[in-house]
Amino acid sequence: QILLSFEQDGPPRSFGTAFEVCNMGKSSLKLDLKVISEVEIFLDLLRSADVFVTNVRVDALKRLGLDYLRIAKAYPNLIYAHITAFGRTGPEMLEPGYDIGAFWANTGIAASIQSSDRAHLYPSAFGDITTASVLFFGIIAALTDRISTGQGRLVDASLLRSGLWCLSPVLCTTDPDDRECVPAVMPSQEDPTNR
């Protein structure tokens, strides 16, 4: 497994324990995909790859020549896995996003668990990990499909869609007019005198 890192301006920084744990045992290769000779190295790696995973926004991938249509044409059996904040289509497709914004705030999860008596605390990277799991299962399904078809495919996951999926039981039982959850499916809102 190769982990590609991209050169950034500024002083080197520590990635922290979470990054180190998630990337333990992986090889890394630093490539500047704006340099033709380094793009050739990258494309050579794709020739023997089963899966290409990226979190780069659609417009930047097009500028680099690494958009799905070009890669699928050159490597028809490659699984192209793309994780985004807001999805590959729609009005926010080109917007940057992250866990707390796209997963928690834009979906309404943050509002659904708020408390008036304490500060809002959201588990770190919860949306990132949930969305990565969704992408992983999509990759497994695509690899399984490739066994019989020989064809790669696009696998797409977004923080926003993963958050909406996690919130779906609440969304399906909420009255949009009064914003109240149906008490029958919210045991925490039971009347304590009705026991």
97 dihedral zone (left: phi>0; alpha: psi -120 to 50; beta): beta
Phi, psi at residue 193, to the nearest 5°? Answer: -80, -5
Is 128 known to be catalytic? Answer: yes
pLDDT exceeds cutoff 50 at 4: yes
CA–CA–CA angle 161, 16, 136 (5° rounding): 30
Q: Any idea how long the chain is?
A: 195
Report the topology of domain 49-187: Rossmann fold (3.40.50)
pTM of the entire predicted model: 0.79
Q: Which of 9, 50, 117, 128 is catalytic?
A: 128
Alpha helix segments (H runs only) across the chain? 16-22, 36-47, 58-64, 68-74, 109-112, 126-149, 159-172
Q: Over the stretch 111-150, which tens digit does the pLDDT of each residue have?
A: 777 767 777 667 778 899 999 999 999 999 999 999 999 9
Nearest CA among 69, 77, 27, 81 for reference residue 47 = 77
The residue extents of the domains of the chain are 49-187
